[in-house]
């Protein structure tokens, strides 16, 4: 049930954009996105509940295609503070999340 994330890693220069994908083999109730910096706890970014829904958080947004069981996270005009590992958490019911292996984002000046 673990979702598959791609790419595994991405290196950006400040101001560049990136897309992180998350796909599941099972029907999804929700998709959560979290960011974890080295040695810290994962921090919540956003939840998507409905098919085709998009949400935004500063210059970070996400979409959820319920039919394709996929979600994408968009990093726009990246900043140094965006560096970290991004995890998608997929929910097949209303209480349990399964996390992908993560995508490590490095933003360089």
The Cβ of residue 21 has, within 10 Å, a number of other Cβ atoms equal to 16
Give the interface segment with another protein, choosing from 11-19, 52-60, 73-81, 83-91 (CB under 8 A): 83-91
List the structure tokens of 103.
């995508």
Question: How many helices, marked H, and strands, marked E, lie in the chain?
Answer: 0, 11
Q: Which positions from 5 to 44 touch another protein by CB under 8 A, shown as an x/- string?
A: ------------------------xx-x-x-----xxxxx
Q: Is 84 in the site for another protein (CB under 8 A)?
A: no
CB-based contacts of 104, cutoff 8 Å, min separation 6 = 8, 9, 10, 84, 85
Element at 72 (helix H, strand E): strand 70-75
Distance CA 89, CA 109 (A): 29
List the structure tokens of 96.
């349990």
Q: Is 109 in the site for another protein (CB under 8 A)?
A: no
Taking CB under 8 A as the criterion, the residue among 24, 72, 82, 87 binding another protein is 87
Query: Which residue, 95 or 109, is less far from another protein as judged by CB?
Result: 95
Query: Which residue, 19 or 97, is less far from another protein as judged by CB?
Result: 97
* Interface contacts to another protein, rule CB under 8 A: 2, 29-30, 32, 34, 40-44, 47, 49, 87, 89, 91, 94-102
């Amino acid at each position: 049930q673990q979702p598959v994330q791609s790419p595994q890693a991405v290196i950006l220069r400040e101001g560049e954009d990136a897309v992180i994908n998350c796909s599941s083999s099972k029907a999804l109730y929700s998709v959560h996105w979290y960011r974890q910096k080295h040695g810290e706890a994962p921090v919540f970014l956003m939840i998507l509940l409905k098919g085709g829904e998009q949400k935004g958080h500063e210059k970070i947004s996400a979409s959820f295609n319920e039919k394709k069981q996929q979600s994408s996270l968009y990093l726009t005009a990246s900043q140094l503070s965006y560096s970290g590992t991004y995890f998608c958490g997929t929910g097949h019911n209303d209480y349990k999340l399964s996390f992908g292996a993560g995508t490590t984002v490095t933003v360089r000046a």
